Amino acid sequence: MVSAPDLRPRSPRYDRLTPAGCARIHESSLSILERTGVRMLDDEAVARLRDAGAKVGDDGRVFVPASLVEWALSVAPRSITLHDRMGRPALPLAGDNYFFGTGSDCLYILDHRSGERRSPTLDDVRAGITLVDALPNIGFAMSMFLPVDVDPAMTDRRQMKVMLECTTKPLVVVTYDADALLDAIAMAEAVAGGPDALRERPTFAVYVNVTRGLVQNGDSLRKLQILAAKGLPAIWLPLTSGGTTGPITTAGNMALNHAGVLAGIVLAQLVREGAPIIVPGFGGQALDMRTMVLAYADPDQREVAPALGHHYGLPMFGLGGCSDAKVPDQQAAAEAALTMFGDALAGAHLIHDAGYLESGMTGSLVQLAICDEIAAWIRQAVAPVEIDDETLALDVIDALGPDGSFLETDHTIAHFRERWYPTLFDRATYPAWVAKGGLTLTQRAAARVDELLATHKAPPLPEDVTAAIDEILARAVVTARTSAPVA
């Protein structure tokens, strides 16, 4: 008996590297760790590696044996699930899943009302996080902007409070030092119901941005060890720039950078076997040698890191929805769509930087709203096609015959809402478009931003939780004052 064909849908995935290519880059990274070594600027981290069998040179370089790397890869978790504020599973980071989110700490905001490129405030952070909470296709929040109207020593903590207040979605958090990280964890524990609840149902991951592949700064190493000890997800992300801190070639740059990634995985597992760690789903960037700008949306390195991440079977932090354009124009829409679609097909899990312009310098709420529409389009475009008797509609086709109209049929009425209908993209006739004002996509997106900011508000935190967060902030303010240098 011949079995029926399997019509169950499968998510598509694009692998830019072959398995042999992934293995070659991995072997090269192991060689770099053993022959060249990595400089770890934290005594505790160095001691952990030395005690585990790594050699430490006279100049402080740590030479990590391949056997130690392979052990760490064997015990690192293959999946991590981020939860929403209520503790419900929200983002399963495994397999070919993908979720879009914003970025952090843009130095400028493109004001959608005035068109001005200006320094952002904490109110801009609040507006951005509120918009994230309202947009249905944006899955997680980052701080988006670096506010200039708060004490610089407290900026990351103030951002954390705003994120906890203004969205129920999972967070990706950036802190400037280990002390701020401990405060951010304490705030999240207050919301989650304690350390055990947060560890069991993590509501955030911490983005640890490392100096470069083979130079790992002390503060990042301390953050990684804190997170590993607590069993909380760390995004360990060395960034090597081709042509300056690494080879200009994509393969060489990736091999060097992933040597630093592997060193971080080893350290995390030495602190706590099974510590959750998220690896880069991007990398291999290089300076544009004509402008000396580190391009965000260049095609050369796209989807190489996700292939490596799937080779390791580890959760990833991708990069999409960004643009090197300065305003939400045709270039911005094209680059956002291309980078988001590429990372979605590659299954890059947490795909951040939606709404980024100017190579990461400027954030735009209008661009974020456009990215939400692009995300909806992508989800529909890669969604599985259901094939069964009802969707094939053979009886309907036969009843109507060659000349029939399907417009009035019960089948059309039953299923037409299953098609995708845009919120921002325009499909009207030209006269109808003109009658509605002849607005461009940018103008329609700006109006949607204003509408959502005027009508949407995340559920408030309980009063006792807000009080606990305020107490943490008050202690941090005292610490910042007493540790500030005397003029």
Backbone angles phi, psi at 233, to 5 degrees: -70, 130
What pLDDT score does 482 carry? 59
Together in a domain, 282 and 358: yes
What pLDDT score does 267 carry? 98
Together in a domain, 279 and 174: yes
Confidence of residue 481 (pLDDT cuts 50, 70, 90): low
Sheet hosting strand 204-210, strand order edge to edge: 98-100, 349-352, 316-319, 277-280, 234-238, 204-210, 171-173
How many structural domains compose the chain? Answer: 3
- Residue 208 in this model has a pLDDT that exceeds 70: yes
Together in a domain, 280 and 396: no
Together in a domain, 304 and 207: yes
What pLDDT score does 1 carry? 43
The model's pLDDT over 278-310, given as tens digits with 9 standing for 90+, comes to 999 998 888 888 888 888 889 998 999 999 999
Together in a domain, 65 and 210: no
- Residue 165 in this model has a pLDDT that exceeds 70: yes
pLDDT-wise least confident of 2-11, 421-430, 470-479: 2-11
Cβ contact 273:266 at 8 Å: no
- Residue 8 in this model has a pLDDT that exceeds 50: no
Looking at residues 34-58, what average pLDDT do you find?
A: 96
What pLDDT score does 118 carry? 97
- Residue 483 in this model has a pLDDT that exceeds 70: no
What pLDDT score does 389 carry? 95
- Residue 5 in this model has a pLDDT that exceeds 70: no
Confidence of residue 486 (pLDDT cuts 50, 70, 90): very low
Which of 37, 69, 101 finishes a domain? Answer: 69
Average pLDDT, the chain: 94
Looking at residues 62-72, what average pLDDT do you find?
A: 98
What pLDDT score does 285 carry? 85
Looking at residues 51-63, what average pLDDT do you find?
A: 95
Domain of residue 199, CATH code: 3.20.20.480
Which of 418, 433, 465 finishes a domain? Answer: 418
Looking at residues 312-338, what average pLDDT do you find?
A: 96
- Kindly state whether residue 32 falls inside one of the protein's structural domains: yes
Together in a domain, 213 and 328: yes
The model's pLDDT over 397-431, given as tens digits with 9 standing for 90+, comes to 999 999 999 999 999 999 999 999 999 999 999 99
Together in a domain, 57 and 116: no
- Residue 2 in this model has a pLDDT that exceeds 50: no
pTM: 0.93
- Kindly state whether residue 51 falls inside one of the protein's structural domains: yes
The model's pLDDT over 98-149, given as tens digits with 9 standing for 90+, comes to 999 999 999 999 999 999 999 999 999 999 999 999 999 999 999 999 999 9
Confidence of residue 6 (pLDDT cuts 50, 70, 90): very low
- Residue 205 in this model has a pLDDT that exceeds 70: yes
- Residue 485 in this model has a pLDDT that exceeds 60: no
The model's pLDDT over 362-406, given as tens digits with 9 standing for 90+, comes to 999 999 999 999 999 999 999 888 999 999 999 999 999 999 999
Together in a domain, 129 and 113: yes
Together in a domain, 362 and 302: yes
Together in a domain, 326 and 404: no
What pLDDT score does 479 carry? 76
- Kindly state whether residue 84 falls inside one of the protein's structural domains: yes
What pLDDT score does 10 carry? 53
Residue range of the domain that includes 59: 19-69
Cβ contact 421:372 at 8 Å: no
Structure tokens at 474: 């008050």
- Kindly state whether residue 85 falls inside one of the protein's structural domains: yes
Together in a domain, 160 and 145: yes
- Kindly state whether residue 305 falls inside one of the protein's structural domains: yes
- Kindly state whether residue 424 falls inside one of the protein's structural domains: no
Together in a domain, 65 and 80: no
- Residue 12 in this model has a pLDDT that exceeds 80: no
Looking at residues 429-445, what average pLDDT do you find?
A: 97
What pLDDT score does 312 carry? 95
- Kindly state whether residue 107 falls inside one of the protein's structural domains: yes
- Residue 251 in this model has a pLDDT that exceeds 70: yes
- Residue 174 in this model has a pLDDT that exceeds 90: yes
- Kindly state whether residue 11 falls inside one of the protein's structural domains: no
